[in-house]
Structure 1
Amino acid sequence: MSRERQPSSDYAGAIYGSLLAASVVAGTGPGQEPPHPAQLTILLLATGVVFWLSHVYAHLVGERSARALVSAHAFRAAARRDWPIVQAAVPPAAAVAIGAAVGMSDAGAAWLALAVAVGSQVGWASYVAAVGGATRGRLVIVAAVNLVLGLLIVLLKAALTH
């Protein structure tokens, strides 16, 4: 029996942001040519920022009473808490840019970004489980569940582009 600890930070945003980035890549160009790497890079980063702002807004509205004004402190706390959503968009965006820089096709760069996003999702979820004190067996289950979820996004991408 393991003693599970709570991680000292909240990594939900990193996991969610990685899923979001994978979904962005999967949703681009179904049945047509993938976007140019510069467009996909901007789309990944912009989507991360828009969803970050949406989460900050939702937390602020959801956590305050109807008559209370939002303080600058509450805004900064919510913005910090959800910043990993934006950070999670950076590795797949960098993968697109690097893929294009080394001569990959637009489709190849998009697939690379998708692999990085799924890998990040699995990595963050596994890290959180490990920091939380999960046993090896639980780590394997966490990684497998997240990999399956990521692969479902990949399958969606493959199904929509063929």
Structure 2
Amino acid sequence: MNVVADPDTTKRVDYAGAVYGSLLAASVVVGSAPRKHPTPAGVLALLLLATGLVFWLAHVYASLAGDRERGVPLSRAEVRAIGRKEWPLAQAAFPPALAALSCALLGLPDAAAAWTALAVALVSQVGWTVIAGTKADAGLLLIVVSAAVNLVLGLVVVALKVLLAH
């Protein structure tokens, strides 16, 4: 199916991608910043950005490949539309990467940069959930429950960071 994306869907923010990207960024911090020898803040920022971009490309590719009908060629418009739709996944890596770099510029230890990047990723994850619920007129109870579920997911990531040492 050659989907030239509906103009309505290409202009909307993909909040799911932003939430997922924020959780992915938190996971990158946990996986790369063990307690005993934290990853240097600059390297952590590069890991965050590279991971966000790789997962963005993977999602674009999966969407394009998954929507193919036999013999239907790709169009540039379709590639651009899907790339734009999936971009919030990559963008979610920017705030925690910026937080890590800011800590480095302030002369803070790498461990502080890792914890700050993790906190920024988790706050972003919960924040995007609240924004998505608000934009969807989900109602206060559903927004609060969704935020709580995302907070619990984030706290599981934090618990893993505290418990796991490489």
Q: Is TM more than 0.5 here?
A: yes
- The aligned counterpart of 1:64 is 68
Per-residue CA deviations over 1:70-107 (Å, capped at 9, x if unaligned) read 11111101100001111100000000011111222101
The amino acid that maps onto 2:108 is M
The offset of 1:38, in angstroms, is 0.8
State the 1:135 CA deviation: 2.0
Q: For 1:133, what is the secondary structure of its paired residue?
A: coil
The alpha-carbon deviation at position 31 of structure 1 amounts to 5.8
Distance 1:67 1:160 in 2: 49
- Residue 110 (structure 2) aligns with: 106
Q: Which residue of 2 aligns with 1:139?
A: 143
User: Percent identity at matched positions?
Assistant: 53
Please say if 1:24 is aligned against 2:22: no
- Superposition deviation, residue 151 in structure 1: 0.5
Q: 5+ unaligned residues in a row in structure 2: which ranges?
A: 1-11
Specify every segment of 5 or more residues in structure 1 that has no aligned partner in the other structure, as ranges. 1-7
Q: Match for 1:109: what amino acid?
A: A
- What's the RMSD between the two structures over aligned residues? 1.4
Deviation at 1:9, TM superposition (A): 3.3
Structure 1 runs of 4+ aligned residues shifted over 4 Å read none
**TM-aligned CA deviation for residue 32 of structure 1:** 4.0
Normalising to structure 2: TM-score of the pair?
Answer: 0.89
The answer to whether structure 1 residue 156 and structure 2 residue 132 are counterparts is: no
TM-score (norm 1): 0.91
How many residue pairs get aligned? The number is: 155
2:26–2:121 CA contact under 8 A, matched in 1:
yes
